[in-house]
Amino acid sequence: MEQVSKWKQLWLSYEKKAENGNASYFQNVWIQGFSMEEPVVKSALKELTDGALGMLGAKVQTAGEGENAAKSSGIVLQRLEENNEAGVKAEGYVLKEEDGRLTVGATDEKGLLYGVFHLLRLISMEKSLAGVCKTCNPDNPLRMFNHWDNMDGSIERGYSGRSFFFADDDVIINERTRDYARLMASIGINGTVINNVNVKQAASWLITDRFFEKVAQMAEIFAEYGIKFFLSLNYASTIEIGGLDSADPLDERVIAWWKEKMKECFTKIPNLGGFLVKADSEGRPGPFTYGRTQADGANMLADAALPYGGIIIWRCFVYNCQQDWRDYKTDRARAGYDNFIKMDGDYHDNVILQIKNGPMDFQIREPISPLLGGLKKTNQMLEVQVAQEYTGHQIDVCYLIPMFKEVLDFHTYCKPGADTVADVISGRTMGNKNTGMAAVINTGNDANWTGNYLAAANLYGFGRLAFQTSLSAEEILDEWIPMSISTDAEVIKTVKGILLPSRATYEKYTSPLGIGWMVTPHVHYGCSVDGYEYDRWGTYHRADHLGIGVDRTDAGTGYVRQYYEPNASAYNSLESCPEELLLFFHHVPYTHVLKTGKTLIQHIYDSHFEGYEEAEGYAKAWEGLEGKVDEEVFANVKERFDRQLRNARDWRDQVNTYFYRKSGIPDEKGRTIY
């Protein structure tokens, strides 16, 4: 598989836009308090120059540095004091237009860069800059991408081609490296992990002289855009590359080896932020192997990284993946909480626990992980999956921001007044600063980066949301569509009409009411109702001829008790349980009547017919855009819709047939079931 030779610039394509009086600002660009030699400032100036030229045909005139800036018309890039009037904080910025003078104020270079991108965003959206007055501070200290790229160039759960970081067990550095960094910075991403959390073979050697030089070079490019560089670590490095016979976190030799290794890493990769670790999970080694706790493992690494300001991000995806389907007591949903809650408070300050949004694994619908906010004395990072592993493989359109919003807005009841997930991971709840959001991201070396052009809305949206969690799913589309597809109002309306409800649609034609998992094993695309039912993964629906669902109430696995009240009681009762999660928490008869007045079985039939019809509607709406959007974009998305419709039809028919055959209860409307 070769590298794709040319690629798009997505929302940074800087194509000609309506001027709207915006060009005039660029005649004088002054800098005040920043050094034009500083790499991030340089990047900001370059974007400003390229963006103005491309979008407005305006040539930036750099007037100079210093005092005159304050008096000039044009653009002033201004460093603010920490305690500034506008309330701008670290990495934040103020954008303010007055009397032809447009100020981008920030306390640091990153804030300046983000402010410049905001300015360019407005131009790209064809908004007038006149009268703009906006202060933006990032809600989350850490806003990260996690790439599951392997060094052979493959991407675990990648649906957009091969890796642009690795090929043939080597590191790739080319123009795309910089374009990637620009795209990230433009949406506020300030950290990235470039290699798969399952660290194997050559990737174990990324922290050795075999790769230091290249890795440092890549990290340096990221630094120019304010992005910290992270690597996934092989927990068993002491054995696999260190020549020791142990990875016991309390073994002095292991500790000494890591101290030395961390010193080497942070010295040789100046822009290194730290490491991401998946331990004791799905066959990966970890501290459990040595009878130690997860905290033992994480703290040992964190202590070694501390002198260099490094952080250790420790994934909480630890569960028994050798479960017996005959066992109704063991509950995979419980595992994360059970494995991590006891050590709350034991983790050192530069450890962050990275917690998936749900207790299972990125299904189209799950409850919120009870670890989020359940942990009260531990740094937490929310992990979501933008790569559409279970949500359509970037074939089916599935705008995920509404789901992420639900997660962020969820009240955990961990602390009065600051109890949402957004509060917890922003640091507002506990006053901590090593917190944030990470996304398993959906990029690859496809020319359009994300396979389906529309999937770029998730890439863009995650970054924007991580920066500003109060943005709505619709507001994000109001930015992304005009920047990426078209500023034509009709087109914006149509694309929004497809994207905004698309997650609900995908949910309708796949697994019902929170049960999840009815996917083709391993592949995770396409329907297989019993695919995981008799397997070892702890992912069961327990459907029989009378009903379906997993009893996780007090009478069942007791999972509900991992939540604070009133959530625990709400989930525990069939009456008060949110219906979209009904089958996650309860085993329910097909004849159970839902709040809509429909029986459960009829809901299954109806929602699957509806889901398919909605997908058909989107495909048709897209057809109507022919000639109104870029030809290539049109063709790419159209081809994906063809495949989505086949997939949606298969899901509809298999799920309906499965439950009809099992229950014997016919569809009230007499539609075709096989």
Choose, by CB under 8 A, the member of 46, 127, 428, 662 that binds its own copies. Answer: 662
Task: Kindly state the smallest distance separating residue 515's Cβ from its own copies, in Å.
Answer: 15
Query: In whole angstroms, how close is the CB of 612 to its own copies at the nearest point?
Result: 14
Indicate whether 660 belongs to the interface with its own copies (CB under 8 A): yes
Please state, in angstroms and rounded to a whole number, the distance separating the CA atoms of residues 380 and 451. 31
457 exposure class (CB count in 10 Å sphere: 0-12, 13-18, 19+): buried
Q: Torsions phi, psi of 182, nearest 5?
A: -60, -50
Contact between 544 and its own copies (CB under 8 A)? yes
Q: What token pair was written down for 244?
A: 């020791």
Q: Which of 77, 301, 527, 604 binds its own copies (CB under 8 A)?
A: 527
Is the separation of the CB atoms in 412 and 424 below 8 Å?
A: yes
Q: Is 248 a catalytic residue?
A: no
CA distance 391 to 398: 7
CA atoms within 13 A on the CB side of 345: 2
Q: Show the CA angle centred on residue 497, arms to residues 491 and 503, nearest 5°.
A: 135
* Inter-residue contact 412 to 562 (CB < 8 Å): no
Query: How far is CA 151 from each of CA 2, 164, 552, 650, rounded to the nearest angstrom?
Result: 14, 10, 40, 35
Instruction: Tell me which of 6, 16, 71, 326 binds its own copies, using CB under 8 A.
Output: 326
Closest CB 551 distance from its own copies, rounded Å: 14
Which span sits near its own copies by CB under 8 A: 7-15, 369-377, 464-472, 539-547? 539-547
Size of the site for its own copies (CB under 8 A): 23
Cβ partners under 8 Å of residue 495, min gap 6: 454, 477, 481, 485, 486, 625
Annotated active-site residue 389? The verdict is yes
Binding of its own copies at residue 650 (CB under 8 A)? yes
Q: Is 642 in the site for its own copies (CB under 8 A)?
A: no
Q: Which is nearer to its own copies, 227 or 655 (CB)?
A: 655
14, 54 Cβ separation under 8 angstroms = yes
**In terms of CB distance, is 428 or 649 closer to its own copies?**
649
CB of 540 to its own copies, least distance (A): 10
Contacts for 317 with CB less than 8 Å, ≥ 6 apart: 278, 281, 282, 336, 356, 361
In the complex, the smallest distance separating the C-beta of residue 544 from its own copies, rounded to whole angstroms, is: 4
Would you state the torsion angle of the CA atoms of residues 41, 42, 48, 51, taken in this order, to the nearest 10 degrees? -130
38, 81, 245, 282: the catalytic one is: 282
Q: Does 528 bind its own copies (CB under 8 A)?
A: yes
645 binding its own copies? (CB under 8 A): no
Is residue 175 annotated as a catalytic residue, yes or no?
A: no
Catalytic residue among 139, 224, 383, 389: 389
Can residue 529 be called a binding residue for its own copies (CB under 8 A)? yes
Please enumerate in sequence order all residues whose Cβ is within 8 A of that of 577, keeping only pairs 6 or more positions apart, or say none: 570, 571, 585, 586
For the CB of residue 158, give the shortest distance to its own copies in the complex, in Å. Answer: 22
Dihedral of the alpha carbons of 97, 99, 101, 107, in degrees to the nearest 10:
-50
How many other CB atoms sit within 10 Å of the CB of residue 557?
19
Per-residue x/- mask for its own copies, residues 282 to 321, rule CB under 8 A?
Answer: ----------------------------------------
Of 233, 311, 543, 550, which lies in the binding site for its own copies, with binding defined by CB under 8 A? 543
| Residue 600 binds its own copies, judged by CB under 8 A | no
CB of 545 to its own copies, least distance (A): 4
* Contacts to its own copies by CB under 8 A: 325-326, 328, 527-530, 534, 543-546, 650, 653-654, 657-658, 660-664, 674
Question: Catalytic site residues?
Answer: 282, 361, 389
